[in-house]
Amino acid sequence: MAHSQANSFSSLSLSPLFRASDSEAEAGVPQERRRRWLDRWQSSEFDDLSMNLTPRGRKPVRRRKARNIEVSEFRVPIAGLGRELAGLRIVHLTDIHHGLYFSAEAVLAAVELANSLEPDVVALTGDYVSYSRNFAHSVAELLGGLKAARGVYAVLGNHDFRVGADLITRALRRNHIEVLRNRHTVLRAGSAELHLAGVDDLWYNASLPRALRNIPRARPVVLLSHNPRIVAAASHYSVNLVLSGHTHGGQVRLPFLERRRDPTHRRFHTGWDGWGLTRIYISRGIGTIVLPVRLGCPPEMPVFTLGAKPAPL
């Protein structure tokens, strides 16, 4: 799955654009290259392009709240998706952070809300726990109650790696959740196919080449990645849609601080964005980190209904 406009995935890992806020990664980045990327990032031309590439229906077609979690529904056309898979509903949960500040009852409420949305697929994009191994089994058991006609799929987040990637992977798999660790699966209906891929967290063991290996060119791909900064690499591989979390939408958003934010930090932070032909949705997620507080940034459970669209020639 080649894309002529981007470098290889391995070179992307050095991209200053996507590591602009990762101080440990900034060391060694040539200043001139960094400046060029930031110029492009901040240019109005680039912003206009990205806006044009977000789905027409980027405003949710329906909004409602349940148990304080905002459910946002989106229709997303996927190039190359056959009609038999049109209408596929993906319910997306991320950043649950089960622990002292996010109880089993709260996780159960999120599971019940997800089930009430009657998903075909549930996509879990990591950070099931925060700091303690003690919550790994309970969160996996609770998530085992998720019901989706075509399965529940998961990737791991940075907190899962810190706590124990193998432990959490085993716990999820014991509860019939398919963990996509740098690999993909194929959903089929008649002659239609959707490749559902997942990568490990970008700060740990992510490998898009492994996750997308053997997917024929121009086949529709939805990628689960905890960290949204995978998006340029995903575009290189012609991924149609990326579902991410990690940012918590900022978690605490004070209007006067938001106005002072550097524009570069508004990209790939919350909601819809895009890179090349790849669209990405970054959910605010369910739980919290550090403090059990959200201000101006409610928890979220997005729902994506995929639409059929002819593949580009």
Contacts to Fe ion by CB under 5 A = 95, 127
Strand order in the sheet with 183-189: 183-189, 192-198, 221-224, 241-244, 278-282, 271-275
Residue 187 CB neighbours (<10 A): 18
Contact 84, 189 (CB under 8 A): yes
* Cα 125 from Cα 169, distance rounded (Å): 13
Tokens of 180: 């996509």
Owner of token pair 């990645």: 225
Q: Which is nearer to Fe ion, 120 or 127 (CB)?
A: 127
Q: Which is nearer to Fe ion, 127 or 273 (CB)?
A: 127
Task: Find, among 246, 241, 146, 149, the residue nearest to 197 by Cα.
Answer: 241
Owner of token pair 């398919």: 178
Q: Which is nearer to Fe ion, 95 or 201 (CB)?
A: 95
Q: Which is nearer to Fe ion, 55 or 287 (CB)?
A: 287
Contact 245, 126 (CB under 8 A): yes
Question: Cβ of residue 130: shortest distance to Fe ion, in angstroms?
Answer: 8
Question: Cβ of residue 287: shortest distance to Fe ion, in angstroms?
Answer: 7
Question: Cβ of residue 159: shortest distance to Fe ion, in angstroms?
Answer: 6
Residue 139 CB neighbours (<10 A): 24
Question: Cβ of residue 124: shortest distance to Fe ion, in angstroms?
Answer: 12
Q: Which is nearer to Fe ion, 125 or 240 (CB)?
A: 125
Question: Cβ of residue 53: shortest distance to Fe ion, in angstroms?
Answer: 26
